[in-house]
Amino acid sequence: MTTNVYDCIIVGAGTMGLAAGAFLAKSGIKPLMIDAFHPPHTHGSHHGETRMIRHAYGEGRQYVKLVQRAQELWEDLEAAVPYKIFEKTGVLGLGPKHSPFLQETIEAAAKYDLSLDIMSAQGIMQKWPGITVPEHFIGCLESDSGVLFSEHCLKAYKEIALANGAELIGGEPVVDIDFNGHPIKVTTKNSHYYGEKVIITAGAWTAKLLKPLNLPIQTIRKVFGWFEAPESLYAADAFPSFYVDEGTRMFYGFPALNKTGLKIGRTDGGQPIDPNQHKQNFGSHNSDEKELRECLQAYLPQANGSLLNGRTCLQTRSIDSHFIIDEHPDQHNMLIATGFSGHGFKFASVLGEALSEWVLHGATQHDLSLFSLERFSSNEKRNLT
């Protein structure tokens, strides 16, 4: 007789896994969540204190309804816990007038009637003396967007999941998934577990676990840092979260929150890496600090102070930078959620809801057709069924 059988096993209890576990547990399903580390941790994509949430979405207007629901759920989460989840700093996009990313942002705002102020270079510099931009730049300001406190988000979902009966096994890497039988057999370095349904949210390790699928994703080493900056110019009550589209490079950053300095990172770029080789080794590449300072010097020169802290993280990037969320092509009881490409965190709340709906009902109310695996082999799109 098979023992250790669960209605659902979640492989990878990071950003998406903990969110899904919380929604499932609240719905009466008692999932088993397995992680190679002890979440929240610094081995994946969720550490570093903050993540941005934008509603007028430059990556594609198809994301807008999802991010609107995500915002609602983040606010619900904040109401359920005694610590901060979201801060409305506003988000300012900077770049040339004809930037495809900014133009898509503007068109998404128009289609969904979102608040978006379009500003000239002169207007930007008058409003925020800490910013310097060339004359051909514009600004796109979303006043209702802002910052998610990423480690608080995971802490909250972990607490909710465990309080409602979920199990969490940390420090136990999954070494094999046998999906040929039923239930699905999940093997860790210490034991075997069996799931009626399995969700794979293993981040940078997903491609290794599902190697026969040859998933079109790549793990990238990314860096970000905090720099000494005048509070009078860059504190959260005077300065927004921001991104800068240069065309060939894109940077993002946050105001000086809680006197920790201004945080900045690069959206694109980075070095391909085996996730098992990832270390907290900011500065081991000459470009780590250099590229961040190039952005500061060009656009935020008064924030180009001493480096206060530098960190690394892992990004799992799909070949088209859109997410991958779909059933395993050979096992309809297994769902894959990966390839979040550096812009997925803000969606964790709504995707946690969507993944839990798949376990409960075999489908989700949310349109995830953009994220189908089929897009890599055909033009046909479909919803989860």
Domain residue ranges of the chain, discontinuous segments joined by +: 5-45+151-216+321-376, 70-149+218-318
Handedness of CA 190, 31, 341, 41 (dihedral sign): negative
Rounded alpha-carbon distances, angstroms, from residue 378 to 86, 339, 372: 39, 18, 10
Fold type of domain 5-45+151-216+321-376: FAD/NAD(P)-binding domain (3.50.50)
For the chain, the C-alpha Rg in angstroms (whole number) is 21
Of 111, 106, 89, 173, nearest to 140 by C-alpha is: 106
- Tens digit of pLDDT per residue, the chain (385 long)? 567 899 999 999 999 999 999 999 999 999 999 999 999 999 999 999 999 999 999 999 999 999 999 999 999 999 999 999 999 999 999 999 999 999 999 999 999 999 999 999 999 999 999 999 999 999 999 999 999 999 999 999 999 999 999 999 999 999 999 988 899 999 999 999 999 999 999 999 999 999 999 999 999 999 999 999 999 999 999 999 999 999 999 999 999 998 999 999 999 999 999 999 999 999 999 999 999 999 999 999 999 999 999 999 999 999 999 999 999 999 999 999 999 999 999 999 999 999 999 999 999 999 999 999 999 985 433 334 3
Would you say 242 and 252 are in contact if contact means Cβ atoms under 8 Å apart? yes
Read off the tokens for 351. Answer: 């995707």
For domain 70-149+218-318, give its CATH number from 3.40.50.970, 1.20.1560.10, 3.30.9.10, 3.40.50.720: 3.30.9.10
At residue 301, the 3 state secondary structure works out as helix
Element (H, E) at 221: strand 217-227
In the DSSP assignment, the letter for residue 363 is S
